[in-house]
Amino acid sequence: MKKSMKIIAALLLGAVVLSGCSRNEPSQEIISSDHSRPIQSETNSEESNSLKNNSLESSFSSENSVPVVSLPSSEASDSSSENVSSSTTSSEVNPIETSSSEKDAPVLLYMGQASIRVVTPENKVIYIDPYAGDDGQYSLPADLVLVTHAHFDHSMVDKVMNRAEDCQIITHNEAVQNGEHKIFEFDYVTVEAVEAGYNSLHDVRKCVGYVLTFTNRKSIYVTGDTSKTEQMPLLAEKHIDYAFFCCDGVYNMGFEEAAECVELVKAAHNIPYHNTTTTTGRQFSRELAEQFNAPNRLIVEDGEEILIN
């Protein structure tokens, strides 16, 4: 009987154990199932990322996508800075070239009436028809003084007190000899005397204009006191760069005749000067200068400098 009871108890215990094991299996399946979902989810995420990467690679390789795919702001800023810097560097070349050109250009100072000072690239100083201008404008030591004729408002050579040891003075007397207009050669300029006068107050035999050609091959023409001359059409062959035309209309030709002379000389720039008749005060009138209706007109006021280039 006791043996039978032990067998029954053992059978009952086994049934309980088996029953307990069967209850725990669903729990394991749930854990396993729960764990399988993240794994499946990570696989989908990798596939999704792969698809996104492929899509991005495709967009980078597409020309149409280039404007859309922009650099980070810092990189874009650096790139923009490089472009600006490059542009600035290239634009800085021109001023260097210009300044080199300016260095080779004579500097012309208009002092009023017919008075002009030129400083050449060789640091030679030329005064033309000294009269107008203050003492400071005559302070540079003269290497050459040119006088077109004897009237006082063109020939005040004494204003040029500061002179180089080898300073030369050329007046109409030296410039015209036996009816022939002379050419004077210097290392820094060539001076050619040309006709002037042709009116009741200015005798062509006693008046000259000058064409100055500098070492940079640029030239200026000053008419001096004159009306239209027979030689002016020939001056067009010289391809003059800057021409100064007197135009007071009282002692010389006026604006209309001066404009006709412009058509004959055909200079690149045409400048009205000697446009007043006053002997006191300012020796230039802007208002009158603006009445000079000529092509390629350039108004240079007294005290103003221009580069002959």
Co-location of 122 and 59 in the same domain: no
Rounded mean pLDDT of 22-48?
Answer: 39
Q: Which of 50, 69, 88 is the last residue of a domain?
A: 69
Q: Whole domain around residue 58: which residue ranges?
A: 2-69
Residue 262's pLDDT is what?
Answer: 98
User: Residue 273: enclosing H or E segment and its boundaries?
Assistant: strand 269-273
Residue 103's pLDDT is what?
Answer: 84
Q: Which of 10, 41, 69 is the last residue of a domain?
A: 69
Co-location of 32 and 139 in the same domain: no
CA–CA separation, 180 and 143 (whole Å): 25
pLDDT band for position 279 (cuts 50, 70, 90): confident
101-144 pLDDT per residue, tens? 788 999 999 999 999 999 999 999 999 999 999 999 999 999 99
Co-location of 126 and 193 in the same domain: yes
Rounded mean pLDDT of 74-78?
Answer: 38
* Separation of CA 96 from chain center: 10
Question: 155 or 36, which is more confident?
Answer: 155
In a domain, 175, yes or no: yes
Rounded mean pLDDT of 292-304?
Answer: 96
In a domain, 85, yes or no: no
Co-location of 228 and 288 in the same domain: yes
Number of structural domains (the chain) is: 2
**Domain CATH code at residue 127:** 3.60.15.10
Co-location of 115 and 196 in the same domain: yes
In a domain, 97, yes or no: no
Co-location of 140 and 26 in the same domain: no
Co-location of 206 and 297 in the same domain: yes
The arrangement of strands across the sheet holding 242-246 comes to: 183-185, 189-195, 208-214, 219-222, 242-246, 269-273
Q: Which of 69, 96, 128 is the last residue of a domain?
A: 69
Residue 102's pLDDT is what?
Answer: 82
